[in-house]
Amino acid sequence: MKLTNKKLLLFAFLSAAIGSLFISCNKDEDNAPGDIGNPTVLYIRSTDPAAADSLLVGAFMGSLVAIVGQDLGHTVEIWFNDQKAALNPTYVTEKTIIVNVPSSVPSEVTDQIRFVFSNGEEMFYDFAVNVPAPVLYSIKSEYVEEGDIAVLKGDFFFEPTTVTFAGGKEAEIVSIDKTEIQARVPAGADMGEITVSTNFGTAISSFLFRDNRNVVVNFDDLRHRSWNSPIAHVDAGEGRVPPCSGNYTYFEMEGVGAWQWVNELNMMYVAEDGETGRGNIPIFPGGASVNEWGVRFEINVPVEWREIPLEIFFAPFGGDHGRDIPVPLARWRPWEDKGVFQTDGWVTVTVPLTEFNEDKDGNPAELSDLSQFTNLTIMYFGAADNANDIYIAIDNVRVARI
């Protein structure tokens, strides 16, 4: 059949219209609501150019990462574990999403990224957020009474957290932040390690709570000379500060001046003393090294202490207080940096044996042969420009590895 020019033009017009309609329908179908393609994550890498070739299976909180895949452009939310990431639409494309891992700590750890798309569908991808395990550095005071607050110092303390004392006794956590936990000491807590656990690991203390090894005097069953510094008997309500571990001794006096040798400002344990001595028993265990050991005790100073140091020194059996032998001593000056020293409750302190480095006249001296020492003295004594009022409470004097 032969077509006229008019019929050819009409046929061409209809063909074009039908084709246009077909193309338009396909385009509408491609962009129909709910059609998000086939979202896929191929890998995740660092945005750091130096590490761009390294593929990641996890990252630390706050890290900037690139999620590489296909059909990712409809992503409207990203969750790492149960923490929502801040998503900038500018950095969301079909093939790449640039996003920071949330800096907040997850409460529920799934080790997955959850993608939420514009049509409400979700996709999951295995990826760990690396949160450090807790680290336990120290305790404010190694001796704390039951029901009182133990202050733990460390890092990466994130809730939920448990604190367990030796004997399996779990403590009530009174307060917690990233570097400090305040925990109430439970009834029945034993001497030993403290364990801190979070969702991300466990820390076990290197120190021992109520460490009773190598205790020289504790002012309960292990005492010093009775005519030296007085003992605060806590059952009788004595002393200006509450106890950290039963009875304690204290130095208290108004207007103490330079080089005042006062019995009440002197804590002296003498092994051959018939009243409180325990005989020729060395203070240090065999093989103790000057570089590895120190004198440790709890101290509570509720007033401002300045100028006059604590002198700490040893003596061999039969050497009485030993200062006149003379023996190397330490002059402990905790106020030296700030000009004044005052505590908020009891704190544990350690004076390393390496600081026992002068004789009574200030000449250089050095400790040797620790096995000879059976006696120990701590006294408030030394140079001063002004008279000072003092109150220094001391408990649980012991030698410890540092």
Classify 310 as helix, strand or coil: strand
CATH code assigned to 40-130: 2.60.40.10
User: Do 40-130 and 135-204 fold alike per CATH?
Assistant: yes
| pTM attached to this predicted model | 0.81
User: What is the β-pairing status of strands 58-60 and 128-130?
Assistant: parallel
In this prediction, residue 49 carries a pLDDT of 86
- Residue 46 structure tokens: 């660092």
In this prediction, residue 29 carries a pLDDT of 37
In this prediction, residue 7 carries a pLDDT of 38
Measured in whole angstroms, how far is the alpha carbon of residue 49 from the centre of its chain? Answer: 34
Q: Hey, what amino acid is at 54?
A: S
In this prediction, residue 347 carries a pLDDT of 98
CATH code assigned to 135-204: 2.60.40.10
CATH 3.40.980.10 fits domain 215-401: no
| Residues 89-139: tens digit of each pLDDT | 999 999 999 999 999 999 888 999 999 999 999 999 999 999 999 999 999
Dihedral angle of Cα 66, 71, 73, 78, to the nearest 10 degrees = -60
In this prediction, residue 282 carries a pLDDT of 96
In this prediction, residue 322 carries a pLDDT of 84
Q: Which residues of 296-313 are buried (b: 16+ CB within 10 A; e: fewer)?
A: bbbbbbebebbbbbbbbb
Q: Would you list the domain boundaries of the chain?
A: 40-130, 135-204, 215-401
> Which residues does the chain have with pLDDT short of 50?
1-33
- Residue 58 structure tokens: 């996890």
Taking CA 373 as the corner, what is the angle to CA 267 and CA 353, rounded to the nearest 5 degrees?
75
Q: Which residues of 12-42 are buried (b: 16+ CB within 10 A; e: fewer)?
A: eeeeeeeeeeeeeeeeeeeeeeeebeebebe
